[in-house]
Amino acid sequence: MIGVSEVTFFVRDVREATWWIQDLTGLNPVFISENFSKFRIGNTELGLHIADKKTGPGTAGSVAYWDVKDLETAIVDFLSLGGCLYRDPINGSDGSRVCQVTDLFGNVWGLREANHS
C-alpha cells in the first residue's frame, strides 16, 4: 500500500453533487461527465459516481479521513452547505482530533485536524 489515491462517493445526481463539492472546496472538477466527475484535493482524487444497483448512495461502513487545518471551521463549512454532523469530534487514540460529517447525498466524510506540531 502506498496511500489513498481516490475516494469515490456514489450519488443519485452527479451534476448536483459536483456543484456541491465545488461550493465546499472552491475547486473545479478535473473531469466531468453525466455519470462521473472527479476533483483533485491535495494528493487525492475525489470521484463522484452515479449510484447504481451494485453501489447505492449513503453510508456503507468505510470512511476516508481528510486532513483539515481547523476541525471546527471544517464542520461549520459542511453545516453551512446543508451537511450534518454524523459523529461528534473526539480526540483519537493517536492524538488527532477527528469527527465525521455527512454531505447532502448521505456520504460520510471523516475529518482529521492536521497536527500542528
- Note down the domain range covering 115: 62-117
On whether residue 57 sits in a domain, the answer given is: no
Residue 54: predicted pLDDT: 83
Q: Indicate whether 116 pLDDT > 60.
A: no
Give, as one character, the DSSP assignment of residue 115. P
Question: What CATH number does residue 46 fall under?
Answer: 3.10.180.10
Q: Which residues pair with 110 in a beta bridge?
A: 65, 100
On whether residue 116 sits in a domain, the answer given is: yes
37 shares its domain with 4: yes
Average pLDDT rounded to a whole number, residues 46-51: 92
66 shares its domain with 105: yes
78 shares its domain with 37: no
Average pLDDT rounded to a whole number, residues 69-73: 94
117 shares its domain with 75: yes
Q: Indicate whether 106 pLDDT > 70.
A: yes
34 shares its domain with 66: no
pTM for this predicted structure: 0.77
Cell of 51: 449510484
- Structural domains of the chain, count: 2
Mean pLDDT of the chain: 89
Residues of the chain above pLDDT 70, percent: 92
> Which residue would you say has higher pLDDT here, 94 or 7?
7
45 shares its domain with 68: no
Q: Which residues pair with 38 in a beta bridge?
A: 31, 47
